[in-house]
Amino acid sequence: MSHPTASFAIVLIAIEGIDGAGKQTLTDALVVELTEHFAPPTLAAFPRYGNAPFGVLVEQALQSADNQLLSSVTAMSLAYAADRWQFWHIDRPRGSDPGAESPMLLDRWCASNAAYGSARLVTSGAMDSPEAVRFRDWVAQVEFGQMALPGPTLTVLLATDDALAKERRAGRNESDAYETDLDLQGRALASYRTMAADNWGGPWIVIDPLDGDSVRKPAESLAREVLAALQAMQQ
């Protein structure tokens, strides 16, 4: 792979998945598990709608079908990346460096940019196509390379399929341009799975939200799977 090796924080956990996957629910459960068995985590979620300049730009773009920013896959990807750069290098509270005493739990990180950007760019064909791979490599060069953002200790893909995620999204008051594009959500999930298989940007774990009988697992059970993976990495 051509993307650079990311510099790893000690404990930086990124939760990824398509819109409606249940990332916030898993994050809430992980806060409890990490606090009880490890250390209380610092939280951040991206994009930072409403309270950061680049997050606001992204939010406005997603709410307007004819927005100039939204019309460019590359420009949107740079806006997402800039939001993370500003958080990490400027807005992040000093003294909150992730480590043994202060893990950081992220609702989306750099992988979401690569997954959704490649899914927008490649509207037909497989998500392991050369075009999709080149785009994801470019995102890695920008975010891990030029912007010097850290790679996660562990990226967690909550692999909720697009049908179940659509059901979860139906309960939301508002939907944006990505959330209403069902084909995009399906391609983004396929891109995520390809990235997980490649360990894009660092180690991944894929969590299935359903058990063998297609019944939803409790969030606490999913959180324990993540904690077990972290503990196994430390052995």
What is the pLDDT confidence band of residue 177, given thresholds at 50, 70 and 90? Answer: confident
Cis ω before 218 (30° cut-off from 0): no
What does the alpha-carbon distance between residue 92 and residue 134 come to, in Å, rounded to a whole number?
30
Decide if 107 contacts 16 (C-beta within 8 A).
no
What is the pLDDT confidence band of residue 163, given thresholds at 50, 70 and 90? Answer: low
| Average confidence (pLDDT) over 143-156 | 97
Decide if 62 contacts 176 (C-beta within 8 A).
yes
DSSP H helix total and E strand total for the chain: 8, 5
| Average confidence (pLDDT) over 64-79 | 88
What does the alpha-carbon distance between residue 19 and residue 199 come to, in Å, rounded to a whole number?
21
Domains and CATH numbers, the chain: 12-234 (3.40.50.300)
Would you call 216 helix, strand, or coil by DSSP?
strand
Q: Residue 73: is it exposed, middle or buried by C-beta count within 10 angstroms (0-12/13-18/19+)? A: middle
pTM for the predicted model, two decimal places:
0.88
Per residue in 73-88, pLDDT tens? 999 999 999 999 999 9
Per residue in 128-149, pLDDT tens? 999 999 999 999 999 999 999 9
For the cut 70, the answer to whether the pLDDT of residue 65 exceeds it is no
Per-residue pLDDT, 153: 93
Decide if 117 contacts 77 (C-beta within 8 A).
yes
Residues in the chain: 235
Tokens of 82: 């800039």
Which secondary-structure segment (H or E) carries 206?
strand 204-207
What does the alpha-carbon distance between residue 61 and residue 78 come to, in Å, rounded to a whole number?
13
